[in-house]
């Protein structure tokens, strides 16, 4: 290669690199807006009911997994999929009002709520990539999402065994695992996440100032969220999950 050719090639290379890197920067920025990350409007959500609304790629992958499971007599049923910010706000604020009326302090009320529920704007269900699933072919217990149903001779053992063996092939990973070292939300053997989409979403989500979101959205009790509380919630409830999803 002579000098001129070398210069042309390197200029072209640099130019191409900068176009590609700018392009991916822009597309990530545009792919996940603040509102999309907190469940306030996402053009990629398809479906029309509480249990069928999902992010579009998640839905395609879910359907493939469901079809495969059906061949072995497992009828995967979604009990919760995409959940909007407004819906989560209702759940959170109803509990908050109830606990305050029972005499709890605002801080104790918030601590009690987050044993089982998320603060609006922080649920992975806002992304449309996460689903709670059971087996529609099994006898249906009164309350379906209980750990005991997924083990021993519980009705959802067959589903759980099938998922342990196959779900990751379809991109679905358990989020809140049974690791005793894990803090934050309790073990949820029914909650799965579509990693190819939820992983990049989490990376974008980590850049959000969640306290600012709580304040901007005027979530009931937001004046009691201290910076220590937010730091713990972020490291334990949001990030202390299956490492495969980080
Ligand atoms: Zn869930």
Condensed to tens digits (0 to 9), the pLDDT of residues 30-44 reads: 579 999 999 998 999
Residues, CB-to-ion distance under 5 Å, ligand 1: 132, 191
Q: Which DSSP symbol is given to 98?
A: H
- Do β-strands 54-55 and 45-46 pair in parallel, antiparallel, or remain unpaired? antiparallel
CA distance 239 to 246: 8
pLDDT at 223 over 50: yes
Using the 8-state DSSP alphabet, how is residue 102 labeled? Answer: T
Tell me how far the alpha carbon of residue 78 lies from the centroid of ligand 1, in angstroms: 10
Q: Is the pLDDT of residue 25 over 60?
A: no
Ligand 1 centroid to residue 24 C-alpha, Å: 31
Taking the centre of ligand 1 as the mean of its atom positions, its distance from the CA of residue 175, in whole angstroms, is 9
12 C-alpha vs ligand 1 centroid, how far in Å? 48
Ligand 1 mean position to 160 CA, how many Å?
15
Q: Is the model's pLDDT at 112 over the cut of 80?
A: yes
- The alpha carbon of 140 is separated from its chain's Cα centroid by a whole number of angstroms, namely 25
Ligand 1 centroid distance, CA of 130 (Å): 7
């Amino acid at each position: 290669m002579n000098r001129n050719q070398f210069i042309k090639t390197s200029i072209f290379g640099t130019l191409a690199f900068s176009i590609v890197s700018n392009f991916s920067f822009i597309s990530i920025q545009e792919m996940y807006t603040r509102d999309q990350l907190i469940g306030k409007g996402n053009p990629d959500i398809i479906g029309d009911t509480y249990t069928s609304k999902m992010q579009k790629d998640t839905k395609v992958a879910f359907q493939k997994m469901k079809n495969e499971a059906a061949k072995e007599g497992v009828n995967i049923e979604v009990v919760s999929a995409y959940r909007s910010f407004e819906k989560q706000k209702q759940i959170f604020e109803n509990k908050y009002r109830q606990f305050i009326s029972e005499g709890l302090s605002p801080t104790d009320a918030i601590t009690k709520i987050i044993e089982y529920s998320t603060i609006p704007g922080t649920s992975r269900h806002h992304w449309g990539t996460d689903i709670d699933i059971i087996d529609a072919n099994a006898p249906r217990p009164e309350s379906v999402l209980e750990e005991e149903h997924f083990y021993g001779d519980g009705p959802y053992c067959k589903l759980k065994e099938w998922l342990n063996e196959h779900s990751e092939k379809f991109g679905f990973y358990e989020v809140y695992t049974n690791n005793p070292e894990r803090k934050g939300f309790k073990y949820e053997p029914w909650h799965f996440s579509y990693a190819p989409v939820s992983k990049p979403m989490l990376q974008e989500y980590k850049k959000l100032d969640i306290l600012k979101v709580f304040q901007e959205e005027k979530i009931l009790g937001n004046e009691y969220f201290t910076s220590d509380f937010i730091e713990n919630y972020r490291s334990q409830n949001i990030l202390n999950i299956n490492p495969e999803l980080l």
